[in-house]
Amino acid sequence: MFTGIVSGTGTLTEKCGSRLVIETPYKPESFEEGASVACDGCCLTVVDIAKGKGSGSLLHFDLSNETLDLTTLGSWGVGQKINLERALALGQELGGHIVTGHVDGRAKIVSRNPDGDSIRFALEAPSELAGFIAAKGSIALDGVSLTVNEVDDSLFGVNIIPYTLSHTTLGDQQPGDLVNLEVDLLARYVARLGQHEGR
């Protein structure tokens, strides 16, 4: 379980088939094999740990076909910058919203425009996910917890503040780029209950 509050960024240093090696700022001794890390919003299992540069670590992950089909991870190349979040521990502050790390699909950035000191992004969600996105609701894009500003069918907008732009990879994203999208977990259950009651 995660909160969508990015705790660091990493770099893809090696990609061999479905195995990824990501250099992270986390100390290697702070991890055990089997730990979960959200990488651009996708929950991955640590399968090996090595010492990286300085006090950081090299974390190894294996990708399933489901992950490759639904996320942007299959298109990553060496040097890719990645938003990272460690799994939530009991007693930690829940600063964003409940994020599972189970990416639902990919959203496409349609536009990027200044809005004061922030940047306003317009994105297009896959049609099958659009119904789960609501104005003033929560959403995770590349693992970042954001508030939806407005919704128009499959298009939706978010406003990204300077802190988030400088501390995540979203500051580098441009129109045409794809980002990992996780809709609000509560919206999924509400929709499921509505389907059940309609029978």
Tell me: the pLDDT tens digits for 78-118? 999 999 999 988 777 778 888 999 999 999 999 999 999 99
Mean pLDDT within 3-17: 95
CATH code 2.40.30.20 for 8-86: yes
Give the Cα separation of 184 and 160 in Å (integer).
18
- pLDDT value at 74 more than 60: yes
Q: Please, which pLDDT band fits residue 195 given cuts at 50, 70 and 90?
A: low
Q: Return contacts of 166-170, CB within 8 angstroms, 24+ apart.
A: 167/6, 167/9, 168/6, 168/9, 168/83, 168/142, 168/143, 168/144, 169/9, 169/40, 169/81, 169/82, 169/83, 169/142, 170/83, 170/121, 170/141, 170/142, 170/144
pLDDT of residue 88: 86
* Topology of domain 105-197, CATH: Elongation Factor Tu (Ef-tu); domain 3 (2.40.30)
Is pTM, for the whole model, over 0.85?
Answer: yes
Range(s) of the chain covered by CATH 2.40.30.20: 8-86, 105-197
- pLDDT value at 132 more than 90: yes
Q: 29 forms bridges with which residues in the sheet?
A: none
pLDDT of residue 198: 57
pLDDT digit string, tens, across residues 22-39: 999 999 999 899 999 999
pLDDT of residue 56: 92
Take residue 119 and report the two structure tokens written for it: 């940047």
